[in-house]
A and B are shown apart, each in its own frame.
Chain A
Amino acid sequence: MIRIEYATQRLSLRFFMLMLVLFFFQTGFGLLLAAQHVDPALLAGVLNFNVIRAEHTNLAVLWILSGFIGTILFVGPLLSKRELAAPALIKFLFYALIAIVLWNVATQVLAQTGVAGWWHGEPLLQEGLEYLEAGRIADVVILIGFAILCYVVLRSFPPLSKWNEIHWGLGIGVVALTLVWIFGMFFVERLDLQEYFRWYVVHYWVEGVWEVIHISLVGFLLVLMFRADIKSVGYAVFWGISLVWLSGLIGNAHHYFWIGTPEFWQFWGSLFSALEPLPLIFCFWHIYLDAHQDGKPIRNMPAFAFLLGSVVLEQVGAGILGFTMTFALTNVWSHGTWVTLSHAHLALFGTFGMLGIAAAYYAVPIMRGVTGFDQRHGKLAFWLVFTSMLGLGFAFAIGGTVQVFTYRTLGLDWFGGDVAPAMQFAKLMAPLFGTLFTVGVCLLAYDLLTLGLTKPAPSARRAQETAAMAARAPSRWGRRLTGWEAGLWLLGLWVAGAVITLGLLSFNLPFVQQGHAALPYLMASIGYPGLFIVTLLFVWRFLSSLEARTHVDAGLPLATAAVAPSASG
Chain B
Amino acid sequence: MAAAGPQGGLRLTGEGMNARRIIRLSIAILASGVSLALSWPYWRDFGFWPESRGMWIGYFVVGYVLAVYVFYAFLDSLGTLFEHDELERGADREDAP
Q: Which residues of A contact B (CB under 8 A)?
A: 229, 232, 235-236, 239, 242-243, 246-247, 250, 262-264, 266-268, 270-272, 274-275, 278-279, 281-282, 285-286, 289, 293-294, 327-329, 483, 501
Contact = CB atoms under 8 A, between A and B. Distances in A.
Contacts of B89: 293
Contacts of A483: 82
A475 to B, nearest CB: 25
Interface of B: 35-36, 38-44, 50-51, 55-56, 59-60, 63-64, 66-67, 69-71, 73-74, 77-78, 80-82, 84-85, 88-89, 92
A356 to B, nearest CB: 25
Contacts of A263: 41, 44, 50
Nearest to B60: A267
Contacts of A278: 70-71, 74
A266 B55 CA distance: 14
Contacts of B35: 270-271, 274-275
A266 B81 CA distance: 34
B39 A270 contact: yes
6 contacts: A267-B63, A272-B63, A275-B71, A285-B81, A327-B39, A329-B39
Contacts of A272: 63, 66-67
Contacts of B78: 281-282, 285
A267 B41 contact: yes
Describe A's contact surface by its main secondary structure: helix
B70 A282 contact: no
Nearest to A247: B70
Contact of B42 (A229, A271, A329): A329
Contacts of A282: 74, 77-78, 81
Nearest to A290: B85
A285 B75 CA distance: 12
B51 A267 contact: no
A235 B51 contact: no
B39 A274 contact: yes
A111 B40 CA distance: 40
B84 A232 contact: yes
B63 A293 contact: no
A264 B85 contact: no
Shortest 7 CB-CB contacts between residues of A and residues of B: A270-B39, A239-B77, A274-B35, A271-B39, A232-B84, A278-B74, A289-B85
B56 A274 contact: no
Contacts of A275: 35, 67, 70-71
A268 B35 CA distance: 11
A328 B44 CA distance: 12
Contacts of A246: 66, 69-70, 73
Contact of B59 (A229, A236, A268): A268
A264 B51 contact: yes
Contacts of A279: 74
A191 B51 CA distance: 23
Contact of A229 (B40, B70, B74, B88): B88
A267 B77 contact: no
Contacts of B50: 262-263
Contacts of A235: 77, 80-81, 84
Contacts of B36: 271
B70 A289 contact: no
A294 B92 contact: yes
Contact of B88 (A232, A242, A247, A501): A232
A232 B35 CA distance: 30
B81 A286 contact: yes
Interface-centre pick from A235, A246, A275, A327 (highest chain B CB count, 10 A): A275
Given A243-B73, A286-B81, A270 B38 contact: yes
A325 to B, nearest CB: 12
A279 B71 CA distance: 10
Contact of A328 (B41, B63, B66, B88): B41
Contact of B73 (A242, A266, A285, A294): A242
Interface-centre pick from B44, B78, B80, B82 (highest chain A CB count, 10 A): B78
A298 to B, nearest CB: 17
Contacts of A266: 41
Contacts of A236: 81
Contacts of B40: 267
B92 A243 contact: no
Contacts of A250: 66
A143 to B, nearest CB: 33
Given A328-B39, A328-B41, 15 more contacts: A229-B84, A232-B85, A246-B69, A250-B66, A264-B55, A267-B39, A267-B60, A270-B35, A271-B39, A274-B35, A275-B70, A282-B77, A293-B85, A327-B39, A329-B38
B80 A274 contact: no
A250 B65 CA distance: 14
A270 B32 CA distance: 12
A346 B63 CA distance: 29
A471 to B, nearest CB: 22
Contacts of A293: 85, 88-89, 92
A293 B85 CA distance: 7
Nearest to A229: B88
Contacts of B59: 264, 267-268
A165 to B, nearest CB: 12
B74 A243 contact: yes
A262 B64 CA distance: 19
